[in-house]
Amino acid sequence: MSESELWKEIRELQAQVNELRSINRPDKTIFAKYKTTAGQTVATGATDIINFDTKIADEYNCVTTGAAWKFTAPRYGTAFVFAKIQTAANAGWAVGEITSIASYKNGVFNGEMDGDMNLAANSRVWLAGSIPITMNAGDYIDVRWYQNSGGNVSLSETDLYCWISIALLRTY
């Protein structure tokens, strides 16, 4: 290895060390915000991970998008998860049917964030909620949507109504 190649490798290692120091600073908040306009559809009786597929902010690339959307904690802390969705109008809604959003940690139900069962035909449903989740480095969280209207329901294609933000604060 030449001297210039060695110095290049040293600089790359220093950059990695600096990034790790930044992530682990006690006063550093890890923040991610995503939205979706994809109009994702959920079948009746199904609980699906919401794919917030468009990055607004995610300095440490903690989010994996797609059908298995998740936020992975790069360090220990408390994650404050805020999510909002709006459904497209659905003629199939009837009183007593349910729709809800819930958080999952490491694939296990963690808590309901919001739900509605006072639904009317041709209505849109807005669900929004927040929940704190204690996380270790490597833990992951996602938000899932459930509905039982008797048919398929889609999310609104307006990103103002379908988004998630996660702030991971260092806790002791």
Residue 15 CA to residue 104 CA, distance in Å, equals 33
Q: What is the pLDDT of residue 105?
A: 98
Q: Are strands 153-154 and 41-42 parallel, antiparallel or unpaired?
A: antiparallel
Specify burial of residue 86 (Cβ count, 10 A radius: 0-12, 13-18, 19+). middle
Q: What is the pLDDT of residue 95?
A: 78
> Does residue 166 or residue 157 have the better pLDDT?
166
Residue 119 CA to residue 109 CA, distance in Å, equals 24
24, pLDDT greater than 70: no
Q: How far, CA to CA in Å, does 89 sit from each of 6, 39, 86, 127, 129?
A: 61, 12, 9, 14, 21
Give the pLDDT band (50/70/90) at residue 49: very high
27, pLDDT greater than 70: no
Q: What is the pLDDT of residue 33?
A: 97
- Provide mean pLDDT across the span 50-64: 96
Specify burial of residue 26 (Cβ count, 10 A radius: 0-12, 13-18, 19+). exposed
Residue 122, Ramachandran bin (φ over 0: left; ψ between -120 and 50: alpha; else beta): left
Give residue limits of the domains in the chain: 29-169
Distance of CA 68 to the CA centre of its chain: 10
- Return the percentage of the chain with pLDDT > 70, whole number: 92
* Average of per-residue pLDDT values in the chain: 89
CB 81, CB 131: distance < 8 Å: yes
Q: What is the pLDDT of residues 85-127, one digit of tens each?
A: 999 887 778 878 889 999 999 999 999 999 988 777 778 889 9
Residue 73 CA to residue 138 CA, distance in Å, equals 5
Q: Per CATH, which fold does 29-169 belong to?
A: Jelly Rolls (2.60.120)
Residue 61 CA to residue 70 CA, distance in Å, equals 11
